[in-house]
Amino acid sequence: MKKSTLLLAGLLGFNMAMAQDIKPYGALPSKAQVAWNDLEYYMFIHFGPNTFTNKEWGHGDEDPKVFNPTHLDARQWARTAKLAGMKGIVITAKHHDGFCLWPSKYSTHTVRESAWKNGKGDVLKELSAACKEYGLKFGVYLSPWDRNHPEYGTATYNQVFANTLTEVLSSYGPVFEQWFDGANGGNIKQPYDWNLFHSVVYKHQPNAVIFSDVGPGCRWVGNENGIAGTTNWSTLNVKGFSPGAGGPSTKSLNEGNEDGEQWIPAECDVSIRPGWFYSPETNDKVKSVSTLLDIYYGSVGRNGNLILNVPVDRDGLIHPNDSTRLMELRKVLDASFKDNLAKKAVVTATNTRSGNAAVKIANLTDGTNATYWATADDAKTTAITLTYQKPVTFNRVVLQEYIALGQRVQNFSVEILENGQWKEIAKETTIGHKRILRLPDYTTTQVRINILDAKAAPVISEVQLYKAPGLLATPQIARGKDGNVTITCASADVDIRYTLDGTAPTQQSPKYPVAKKEQVVAVVLPRGGVVKAKAFSKDGSSSETVKASFDVAPAKWSVLPADASAAIDGDAGTIYNTDATKYPHELQVDLGELLSLKGFTYLPPAGDGAKGVVYGYAFYVSADGKNWGNPVASGQFANIKNNPVLQSVPFKATKARYIRFVAVSPASESDTQAGIAELGVITR
C-alpha cells in the first residue's frame, strides 16, 4: 500500500474517532432513513381503474378493461416531477380494488386483463425506467387490502400478498420507499402478517424505508392535509400498536413522541386535488400556490417529508392544470431560497465543543447538513449570533440538526437587534431534520438563535436566512344561505376583480367592494352560478385566480329536526351534530319548491375535535314529504375519515321537494353521533 493511501486512511480513521466524541442520543436513524429525510419532497401518483370510474375506493368488481389510458407516458410523469424539484415518485401499484399495474401472476385483476396495450403493458416497468432516466427515486404503494382477490380473508392470503410483494420488489430495480396502507375495510377482515410483509421488503430491498402508521421506516402524519405538528419528534412509541385501526393516536402521529422507542419520522401526504384519484370534475380545483406553500412549510418546514399526490388522468398523463401549478410552486420556492444571507455573516457561538476536529462554527453556514457544530456535553443551552456590517432584511429562518446523532433540541427562539436591544421575533420547540420559520420582513445587523433547552448537547448542521418574495393572498369566495356572495382577501390595499361568466378576471372586470364607503356591487346567486376572483395590487402584481361553483342556495329550506339548522345555513364553519344515541341518524329537509335533482352533497365536519363524520349513507327524495320509496343513492363515502372533503353523489335526475339524508354508519367506530357541516343538492 502506498504511503499516501496509508496517510489518507489514517486521517479518515482519526476524524471518525474524533466524531465519536459526541455520544449519540436516544433512538437513531439508519443510513437509509437519513438519506430518505434528505429527499424532503417527492411525488405520489394514484392511478388505476378508479381513474376511469370516478371512485376513491374501488370495490374490485370493475371490469379491468375500463383501464385504458390511450397516451400513457411515464417519462412525462418523471419529467414533470424533476422539473417540479421533486426527488422521487411513489405509485399505487395496487390499491384496495386489487388491480395490479403490472401483469402479476398472483392475480387475474391486472393490466394483463385490461384494454391498455392489448394486455401487454406494464406501468411499473415504464415508470421505473423513467425514474432512472431522470435521476429520480422509485417507490411503490401496495395495499394489503384486496377487494378482488378470492383468497382475501382466508388463511392463505397473507402468503399471496407476500408473493405479490416479492414479485414487485425483485423486478423493477431499487425501491426507496415501500408504502403500506393499513386499510382493512369492507365486510371481510384479514389479519395481516406484518412481520412477514416486512421481512419480504427487507430481503429484496434492504434500503427501502417502510411507511405505515408505525413505520418502521417512516410514519403517517395523522392527517391527509400534509401538515405536521408545530412540535414534531422523529421518534415514536410503537409497542402495542399496528398499522391502520390499531395505530397510535392522531396527536402522537402528528407530533411524534419525545424520547420515543424508535426513529420513525413523519411523512406528510396530501393531494394536489380534493381527491386522490383523477376526476374531470376537479380540473378546476387544483390547490393554489399559496395553499401548497402552506403545506410545504407545514411539512418540510416542520421536520417532515412531503409526498404530494399528482393523479394521472385518463389519457395517462399529468393534467396541464396540475403540472402548471407545480411549476409555479417551484418558481416561488427557488426564489424564496435563492440567496442564503447567513453566508455573509460573521458567526459566533457562546459555547463550542473543543478537542473535536469535526466541530466547526463555519459548518453552520457551509450549505450542507453533512457537517455540524456542537456544544460541550454539559451545555444544553447556547446562542448562535450572526453579525452583519450592513443591515440585512430577511423573513425566513432555516435550522437543521445533525440527525445521525439523534434529535435533541426541545426549544429555541430567534432574536434580532433593534435600537440596541434584543427583540424576540419567534419562539418554537423542535428542529429535527429541518425547521423553516416564515416571518414578517425584519431588518437588522444581528440575528441570534437561542437554544433554550435540549435533551443533550445540541448538534446543529445548518443556520440559514433568506428574504423570500412577497405574494398576494388568494381571494376567498363564500356564499351565505340567502345566496349573497362575499369575496375577501388577506392582502391589504388590493382591488378584487370578479366575473360571473366563467372568464378570468382582469383589471377591467367588476370590482368587488372592500371598503364600506364604496358603492356596493351586489353579487347574489340564489339559483347558483360560477364566480371567479383575482386580487390586483397597485404595483401591477396579481394573485392567482380562484373559482367557486354554487348550486341552489338554501334560502327557502327548512329542516327537521328544527335544531339542525346549522346543516343548511350555508356556513361550513357551523356543524350540526345529532344526539348521542346510536346509528342510524337522519335529517329531513323541505326545499320549499319542486326541483329537478341530479345528486346531493355532504360536507363532513373537519378540523381538530371534529366528530360524527358519516361513512355509510342512504339518500331519499319525495314530492310530498310522505312517500319516500327506495333510496335514490346509497353507499359509503370512501376514505372520508382521513380526507374529510366535500362529497358529491350523483343520481338519476328526479323531481322532488323533500330530501332525507340517512347516516347509516360512522367513519369512526366509537362515534355515536352524526355530524353535518353542510347538506346540499345538485341541480346544475
- For 91-146, how does the pLDDT look when each residue is reduced to its tens digit (9 = 90+)? 999 999 999 999 999 999 999 999 999 999 999 999 999 999 999 999 999 999 99
| Cβ pair 597, 630 in contact under 8 A | no
**Mean pLDDT across the stretch 281-298?**
96
CA–CA separation, 257 vs 222, rounded Å?
13
pLDDT tens, 343-389? 999 999 999 999 999 999 999 999 999 999 999 999 999 999 999 99
Identify the band that residue 21 occupies on the pLDDT scale cut at 50, 70 and 90: confident
CA–CA separation, 256 vs 455, rounded Å?
15
**Mean pLDDT across the stretch 203-228?**
97
**Mean pLDDT across the stretch 589-597?**
97
Could you count the other beta carbons within 10 Å of the beta carbon of residue 612? 23
Identify the band that residue 547 occupies on the pLDDT scale cut at 50, 70 and 90: very high
DSSP string, 211-265: EETT-SSEEE-SSSS----SS--SEE--TT--SGGGSPPHHHHHH--TT-SEE--
Task: Tell me, letter by letter, the H, E, C secondary structure of 588-632.
Answer: EEEEEEEEEEEEEEEECCCCCCCCCCEEEEEEEEECCCCCCCCCC
- Using a 10 angstrom Cβ sphere, with 0-12 exposed, 13-18 middle and 19 or more buried, the burial of residue 518 is exposed
CA–CA separation, 235 vs 38, rounded Å?
17
Q: Give the single-character DSSP code of 14.
A: H
| Cβ pair 409, 482 in contact under 8 A | no
**Mean pLDDT across the stretch 452-481?**
95
Of 156-160, 215-219, 508-512, which range is least confident? 508-512
| Cβ pair 379, 457 in contact under 8 A | yes
Cell 421536520 belongs to 303
pLDDT tens, 400-425? 999 999 999 999 999 999 999 999 99
What's the grid cell of residue 447? 440575528
**Mean pLDDT across the stretch 282-292?**
95
Domains of the chain: 31-336 (3.20.20.80), 341-466 (2.60.120.260), 476-550 (2.60.40.10), 554-682 (2.60.120.260)
Answer whether residue 615 shows pLDDT above 60: yes
| Cβ pair 220, 213 in contact under 8 A | yes
User: What pLDDT is recorded for position 520?
Assistant: 53
Global pTM value: 0.93
What's the grid cell of residue 517? 364607503
Q: What angle do CA 516, 520, 521 make, to 5 degrees?
A: 145
User: What pLDDT is recorded for position 20?
Assistant: 45
**Mean pLDDT across the stretch 298-321?**
98
Answer whether residue 576 shows pLDDT above 50: yes
- Using a 10 angstrom Cβ sphere, with 0-12 exposed, 13-18 middle and 19 or more buried, the burial of residue 500 is middle
User: What pLDDT is recorded for position 13?
Assistant: 42
CA–CA separation, 427 vs 415, rounded Å?
9
**Mean pLDDT across the stretch 268-277?**
97
Top pLDDT among 334 and 517 is at 334
CA–CA separation, 3 vs 638, rounded Å?
67
Identify the band that residue 521 occupies on the pLDDT scale cut at 50, 70 and 90: low
**What percent of the chain is helix, strand and coil (3-state, nearest 5)?**
20, 30, 45
- Using a 10 angstrom Cβ sphere, with 0-12 exposed, 13-18 middle and 19 or more buried, the burial of residue 281 is middle
User: What pLDDT is recorded for position 673?
Assistant: 94
Measured in residues, the chain has a length of 684
**Mean pLDDT across the stretch 149-175?**
97
CA–CA separation, 373 vs 386, rounded Å?
15
Average pLDDT, the chain: 94
What's the grid cell of residue 549? 361553483
**Mean pLDDT across the stretch 69-88?**
98
Nearest to 502 by CA among 475, 480, 529: 529
**Mean pLDDT across the stretch 523-528?**
94
Cell 419529467 belongs to 79
The fraction of the chain above a pLDDT of 70, given in percent, is 96
Identify the band that residue 655 occupies on the pLDDT scale cut at 50, 70 and 90: very high
User: What pLDDT is recorded for position 379?
Assistant: 95
Decide: helix, strand or coil at residue 488: strand
CA–CA separation, 422 vs 609, rounded Å?
39
Q: Which range is most confident: 4-8, 505-509, 604-608?
A: 505-509
Q: Taking the alpha carbons of 71, 73, 79, 85 in that order, is the dihedral positive or negative? A: positive
What's the grid cell of residue 119? 394486455
| Cβ pair 90, 44 in contact under 8 A | yes
Pairing verdict, β 373-374 and 346-349: unpaired
Give strand pairing partners of 592: none
